Amino acid sequence: MSQRGRLFDSYFALVAITSFLLVGVAACQKNELPSAANDLEQLLQTKQCLQCDLSGAQLSNADLQGAKLNNANLSGANLSGANLSGALLDSVDLSGADLSNVNLSSAGLAKANLSGTNLTEADFSGAFLRAANLQDAQLSNTKFNDADLNTANLDGVDINSADFQGAMMPDGTIKE
């Protein structure tokens, strides 16, 4: 066989293998859900999704009582009306999320980022919010009865529009 023939055969084999690989990769990708969709499905099925990316997720009125979401990204998520009582949300990012009318009673939110979050009529009674960032959060008719807010950041927050009865405030005092 001439050198030209061998070159042609090699080129043809390379094109065939490359085409085969590209088709295989495309088929595999077509069957995979994006990571965020997988995370959302996992959360709804198991109520556990540690370090998940749920940014912008639509979870309004979801029953996530006792869910484990430590270190998850829920920035910009809609959780309005959701039940997250007793949930574990330590170091979670909820910045810019809608948590209006959400039940977070007895939830763990240590070091959580709630900056710029809508917390209108949310219930944090008995919640653990040590070192949480609530800067510029909207607290209209929000309940923090008996919550632990020790070392929490409440900069830019109108605490007069919320109920802090029995709560441990950022300076360590108990609100009467």
- Per-residue pLDDT of 81-140, as tens digits, reads 999 999 999 999 999 999 999 999 999 999 999 999 999 999 999 999 999 999 999 999
Q: What secondary structure does DSSP assign to 77-141, as a single string?
A: -B-TT-B-TT-B-TT-B-TT-B-TT-B-TT-B-TT-B-TT-B-TT-B-TT-B-TT-B-TT-B-TT
pLDDT band at 12 (very low <50, low <70, confident <90, very high): low
Q: Which residue has the higher pLDDT, 3 or 58?
A: 58
For the stretch 31-62, pLDDT in tens is 444 566 798 888 889 999 999 999 999 999 99
Q: What are phi and psi of 160, to 5 degrees?
A: -75, -15
What's the pLDDT at 29? 45
pTM of the model: 0.78
